Amino acid sequence: MSSYFSPMPIPNRHSIRAPVFGASPTRLRKKKKKSSRRKPIVHSITESPKEPVVELPILVSRSESPKPSVPPLKLPNLSNYYDQLRVLNEEGQKKLFPGSRRSKTYMVGQKAKLEYVDNYRNIDKILETNRHFNIEDSPVTSYLKKIREKHLSPIPMGIVKRAGKDQDIDIGMYAMGDSYAEALSEGMKEFEVNKLILSDNRLTDVGAMKILQGVKSSSLEILDLSNNKLSNDVVQYIADMSQKRNTSLHTIRLEGLHMKDVGASILCKALKNSLLLIELNLAKNNLEGCKAIAKLIELSTTLQKLDLHWNNIRGEGAKMICRAISHNKSLKILDLSWNAISSPPLDNACKFLSRAFQKHPLLFHVDLSHNGLSLNDAQVLSEGLAHNHTIMGIHMEGNQGIVDALGFVSPSKFDKPGQAHIFTRILSNSRITSHLNWRHVSNCWICERWNEVEFEWIGAAEDPVYIHFSFEGYEGELMQKIDSTTYKLVRMCPPGRFYYFYTHNSQIKNNPNQRVTELPCDYSREIELYPGCKIQVDICDANVKDNQKGPNLLSLEETSPKPRVPRRKFVPLVVKRAWGIPISIFKDYKFDDEELLRKCFEFDWERSKIPKLVKDPEEQTKVSKMLWEAYRVIKEVYKYYSSLSPQGEIWSIGQMVLTDLCNEAKIFDSNFRLADLDFHTKAALYTEIKNNPRNPANALIRYQFMEILVRISLDKFLKSGQATTASEAVYIMLNNHIKPNLSHILADKWRFSRYITEEVDNVLKANVSLLKAVYAKYSKLKVKPGQKPFMCLQEFDGICIEGQLLTETFTARETNMAFNLAMMTQPNELDYDRHLQMSFIEFLEAISRVADMAKLPDPESGERSTESAPLAKLITNLLPKLMELLPISIQKELKKKSDPQND
């Protein structure tokens, strides 16, 4: 059913014609009036049972007819002409104006390029249409509007592009300048930009600030303003932008701005608490290293890429940054190339960087090229890398160090100074495009796209089986034995063609199951497989491998290659040498033997007055023989009791100690009383040699102690009639009193039962640096110029007191005993002081005796040590006390040696 409604008013001739799908907007041309009246345009309306729908013809001038190819548009029944025109405009806007923000693909693709040109040609009409119908300008429209105002060439400048994402603007090296920057900022206001790359664009603060003010911080994720003429004002704006609550910025590249440490501090202070920052590029900024950069590295938990190449980072600034890297837990890629971390030569940041390599859990790509690293610096770094199994690629060009095919650094004077003009970037994508265009350059598994390859040898062979690769100079790599006939090796290998062969039983073999080809040139040299095994290699053909390139490990999503491991070494089967004194730390201690004891006995016999007491030559011989047979016990008894009350530092037995000894030996009875002992003591003390400081006037030394035993024997047993001869009296004294009652105090009994053991040897060897440091500190008091250092009793007492080693079971009296019992036996204690001067090997036994007597509690658990506790455990409990005696600087050095992970 058809019906008509009253005619609507006709727009004047200068109004815009209603949009037609597929047509461009044009103005109505003025026509000459043929009559004063205008016929109304009749609109037919088709009603449906459900909803009336108006069928509108296309609004055209009278001289034109509608295009028959365009079907009529069915719209809801709208009584107002402008409502109908607005609906037509909104429905057809996408096709008529591709630059509209309603189009999802208006910025990307070949069609977008063509439509961009069409929009530029019709920009006036598009702007007038948008203004008339209150339609928001699209990014393209806003950009073209500003281009027309500034009379600039309509270069798209990333607003429209052939490929990519519509939210990304990547126009690096366009040299746009500030004029285009203003136009670009107008276009960016109309949509959300995720990626903004504006490097090398001749931008100044004016243009950069307009762009940054036009971009939405809530959507921007990647910002690159590298190599523009920007001041720190722009840096401050970026810093403020990164601190906004709604920011999404995670990648900042500000290379080549010459911001210096001032600008870097502004940015890093703002970013140090960021939870979004992933990549930061501050290369080529004349940085020397500031606290703010170090603090950012230390505190950041998200930073994964850091580029600081081509700066002037050195000295204290380099130390701060390298220290911070060791505390960081998120960094994966680090570029410190073209700096000066080797300055100053003697105390630089290399040791801190080496510790960072040891401790960092994720770092896998590092560039240290052209830092002027010396042989010593390279050695320091190699020690840190030896404990690291995560760094897959490291660059050392321009330094006195090389990287081998296994990824480890070794010092080398061959630093290729002629290649200093070759500049590489580890943060860029690998340039390996073909699997055959690889050449041996840096041994970087990441940049050169190395790939994991498994090699297998199957056949009868005797250990060891080696495989030799051309890319590492045919050095042998030991294969792992799977079973009696199968050997395998998994290796990271470079892309491209390389050659390899096998050796076993000192013979060269090729695997017939793998491709064999002729070498480009014959190879001949001598190769050392392992110490003591060298073979002459002369080959003209070998197995060949055309290896494909590996995955791109620079992508942060793909960072799980096999860890690099040190080269396996073949160790010929050797029977383990049984533990013994010759291979222990005790090997330099001179134990008592028959020769040494004989010299001591003869010295004591000659100095004593025993020949005068026993005048019968036959009896003298018998007495001498009995005393020699018991001399080891006599000497040990004297050594023990002389430790209880020395005269100053002279080991000797005074009257009170001698009385205790007689009581212990059960010598006193009715035939021999205390008064008799006093009489014989005075007789034994008498000597014709006066004023000898080593022979006190009121205390017995060793030769006098042997003499008084003979005097007591003659008085107690010969005079009372219990013995008929002097030799019989001495025999009764030694066998009935001295040996049975005093043998338990022998020093050698403790020495060989508890001290000379493999467990104690291991503990002392493991802590020999600490023990030597303590000994060196306390072995100076009485050392004369030119004399070998030794420790005196006073210094040893100082260790026990200052180290707070004295306990209820270990008093000052036991300190003397530990010192004296540890001393090696000296034949002549009358004319020389050697028995008073403790050497280092004697100090080890003395401090072990202290540990056994003090029985200090465990420093970690606090548990008290029992009587049956192993001596090795007791010494371990004592060591922390000795450490506290040393200066702080020495303590730190010792802790570093014992624990490489310690900072």
Return the pLDDT at 419: 52
- DSSP string across 610-632: HHHH---HHHHHHHHHHHHHTHH
Asked if residue 150 belongs to a domain, the reply is no
Largest CA distance in the chain: 177
Q: Are 446 and 393 in contact (CB under 8 A)?
A: yes
From CA 41, how far away is CA 326, in angstroms rounded? 83
Q: Does 186 reside within a domain?
A: no
d(C-alpha 313, C-alpha 319), whole Å: 9
770 and 881, same domain (yes or no): yes
- Which CATH number belongs to the domain containing residue 455 in this structure? 2.60.40.10
Any idea what DSSP says for residue 523?
E
The β-bridge relationship of strands 53-56 and 44-46 is antiparallel
Pair (741, 754) in one structural domain = no
At residue 67, the pLDDT reads 43
- Single-letter amino acid, residue 327: H
Integer Cα distance of 478 and 882 in angstroms:
45
- The reported pLDDT for the residue numbered 53 is 41
In a domain, 590, yes or no: no
Q: Is residue 107 a part of any domain in this protein? A: no
Which residues lie below 8 Å from residue 394, measured CB to CB, with a gap of 6+? 365, 366, 367, 368, 385, 403, 407, 409, 444
Residues 279 and 319 in one domain: yes
Shared domain for 892 and 756, answered yes or no, is: yes
Residues 393/366, Cβ–Cβ less than 8 Å: yes
**Pair 706, 825 in one domain:** no
**Predicted local distance difference test score (pLDDT) of residue 337:** 92
Q: Which domain holds residue 38?
A: 1-96
Same-domain pairing of 695 and 815 = no
Q: Does residue 226 sit within a domain?
A: no
Render the burial of 83-103: b for 16+ CB within 10 Å, e for the rest.
ebbbbbbeebbeebbbbbbeb
> Does the bond joining 551 to the residue before it have cis omega, within 30 degrees of 0?
no
Q: Please state the domain count of the chain.
A: 5
Q: Are residues 252 and 341 in the same domain?
A: yes
DSSP secondary structure letters along 348-411? -THHHHHHHHHH-SS--EEE--SS---HHHHHHHHHHHTT-----EEE-TTSSEEE-TTS-EEE
| Burial category of 498 from C-beta neighbours within 10 Å (exposed 0-12, middle 13-18, buried 19 and up) | buried
Note whether residue 110 is domain-resident: no
What lies within 8 Å, CB to CB, of 202 at 6+ separation is: 175, 176, 177, 178, 228, 229
Alpha-carbon distance of 778 to 796, in angstroms, equals: 7
- Hey, what are 460's tokens? 């009868």
Q: Name beta bridge partners: 527.
A: 535
Which residues have a Cβ under 8 Å from the Cβ of 889 and sit 6 or more positions away? none
Please list the residues that pair with 411 across neighbouring strands.
Answer: 401
Query: CB of 303 within 8 A of CB of 332?
Result: no
Boundary residue ending a domain (530, 547, 564): 547
* Residue-wise pLDDT tens digits, 383-394: 888 888 888 889
Burial string for 664-678 (b: 16+ CB within 10 Å, else e) reads ebebeeeebeeebbe
Note the pLDDT of residue 715: 92
**What's the CA angle centered on 18, arms 16 and 21, to 5 degrees?**
130
End-of-domain residue from the set 419, 441, 475 = 419
Query: How is residue 332 annotated by DSSP?
Result: -
Last residue of a domain, one of 525, 547, 569: 547
Q: Token digits for 662?
A: 């007689």
| CATH code of 241's domain | 3.80.10.10
Looking at residue 76, its pLDDT comes to 46
- Angle 122-126-131 from CA coordinates, rounded to 5°: 150
Same domain, 333 and 363: yes
Task: Give, in order, the Cα–Cα distances in Å from 577 to each of 530, 574, 589.
Answer: 21, 9, 21
Whether 379 and 481 share a structural domain: no
Do 777 and 705 lie in a common domain? Answer: no
Other Cβ atoms less than 10 A from the Cβ of 392: the count is 22
Separation between Cα atoms, residue 47 and residue 55, nearest integer Å: 9
Sheet of strand 44-46: strand arrangement: 2-4, 44-46, 53-56, 73-76
Residue 58 covered by a domain: yes
The verdict on pTM exceeding 0.75 is no
| Whether residues 838 and 722 fall in one domain | no
Q: Is residue 157 part of a domain?
A: no
Stretches in the chain below the pLDDT threshold 50 = 1-82, 84-86, 88-105, 418, 420-421, 429-432, 434-438, 556, 558-559, 561, 900-903
Q: Do 731 and 758 belong to one domain?
A: no
- Bridge partner list, 286: none
Give the tens place of pLDDT for each residue, 525-574.
888 888 778 888 888 899 999 988 887 766 645 445 456 677 777 766 65
Which of 279, 234, 230 is closest to 256 using CA atoms? Answer: 230
